[in-house]
Structures are given as structure tokens and as C-alpha cells.
Amino acid sequence: MLIQDLSLQKRQFFINLIKKRVKSGTGSSVEFLHKRTWTYPVSNLNSIITHASFVIVGGIATRLYMPERMTLDIDILIKPEDCELVYQDLQNANSQKIGDLSISGSQWQLADNTSLDVLVGEDEWVAEAISKPNYAPDGLPIIALPYLILMKLSASRTQDLADISRMLGLAKEPELIKIREVVKTYLPSAIEDLESLIMLGKLELEN
């Protein structure tokens, strides 16, 4: 509960600050904001993790939903019951475990020196999110937008909130309906903040 309260405080502080200073439009063109790229190479996790399902989350995942930003690390989400299978696949691929994360999961270094964070999701929505991914151009499974928004709202770091606002601004109404449903179900304390972030994101797209 303390962590949730802190995330709520951070979200509201960020949103109130931006509301005071935001102006219609942005320095980026609308064409750029709608652009999707997969420029930076990503390790082929499909050839490494073969005995369990996973989805890519974090900064890499945002590439499907907003303009690409540079990030060197890969984050994946798995189910608790698949931990041993995933860890064995990583070891078989000559990956090295660096240590445990502060949240449930562990950090690894792949054979190509890529840093991989394996997040073990224990929330009730995790199984559905993993079973219904979207796919990147290279075939990697990417967490669907509603669950990515949910994860980033829960974390509420500054970069997460900035990502949320931009992704929501670019989302179509059917996507927003699903996002609202997911947040209302699993993080109802964030509903008001979600609407504010949608408003801020849409405002960024105005000329």
C-alpha cells in the first residue's frame, strides 16, 4: 500500500506540474509523432527463450506505440511458474545472471552483452497480457498497450509518465476504451490520472 501511495503522489505531482506549463502543440511534427520504427537492433530472444512464453515490456515495447527512443536494455515479463524454464534457457544460451532485481525478477547479461531484466509478474492480469501480445517487425512478442500503460502507471517514474502521455495521445479511441477498462479493473486509483494523461497527450498533437 505504501508503494502504491507513493506512485499516486508522484503521478499527481508530475501531472499538476505539466498542466501548469503545457502548451498546445510540440516541437515535433505530427508526422514524426505518428512514426513507428525498429531501428536499433534487438537481441533475438525468440531463439533464446524457447520453453516458456514472455512479452517484452519497458522502453523497447514503446516502439510499437510511439516514436522510438534510444534504450539499450531489454525488459521481459514472465509468469512465476515459468521462472525455471526461462532461466534454464538463458543459461543454455551462455547468458550470465548478474543478480536479483529490487522487484521480483533478475538481471542477466546475454552472450551478445545485452542487459536483460526478467520481471516475474505476480498480478492477476499477467497471464492474459503474456497470452495476447502484439508483435514487432522482427517477430518479438510485445506487451499490448493497455497492459504497458498499466505497468507504467504502477511504476510512475518520470520517464514512465512521459511515455504514457505520448502513447495515449497517439492511441485511437478503441484502444483508449480498452486501456480505461484495464486500468479501472486493476488500478482504479489511477483512473483520474489516466484521463489527465490522455488530455495532455492529445494536447501535444494539436497544431
Mean pLDDT to the nearest integer, 98-111: 93
Give all strands of the β-sheet with 96-100 in edge-to-edge order. 96-100, 105-109, 115-120, 74-78, 55-57, 141-142, 134-135
Residue 2 has pLDDT above 50, yes or no: no
Confidence bin at 199 (pLDDT 50/70/90): confident
pLDDT tens digit sequence for 127-158? 999 999 999 988 999 999 999 999 999 988 88
* CATH architecture of the domain formed by 11-205: 2-Layer Sandwich (3.30)
- Indicate the domain borders of the chain: 11-205
Alpha helices in 93-207 (DSSP H): 126-131, 145-155, 158-170, 173-186, 191-205
Per-residue confidence (pLDDT) for residue 90, from 0 to 100: 98
Q: How far is CA 137 from CA 41, 89, 197, in A?
A: 11, 23, 28
Mean pLDDT to the nearest integer, 19-24: 50
Cell of 3: 508503494
pLDDT tens digit sequence for 30-57? 555 555 566 677 889 999 999 999 999 9
Per-residue confidence (pLDDT) for residue 108, from 0 to 100: 97
Phi-psi label, residue 122: left if phi above 0, alpha if psi -120 to 50, beta otherwise? alpha
Which of the two residues, 72 and 81, has the higher pLDDT score?
Answer: 81
Per-residue confidence (pLDDT) for residue 3, from 0 to 100: 47
**What is the C-alpha separation between 24 and 124, in angstroms, rounded?**
38
- Angle 135-127-7 from CA coordinates, rounded to 5°: 90
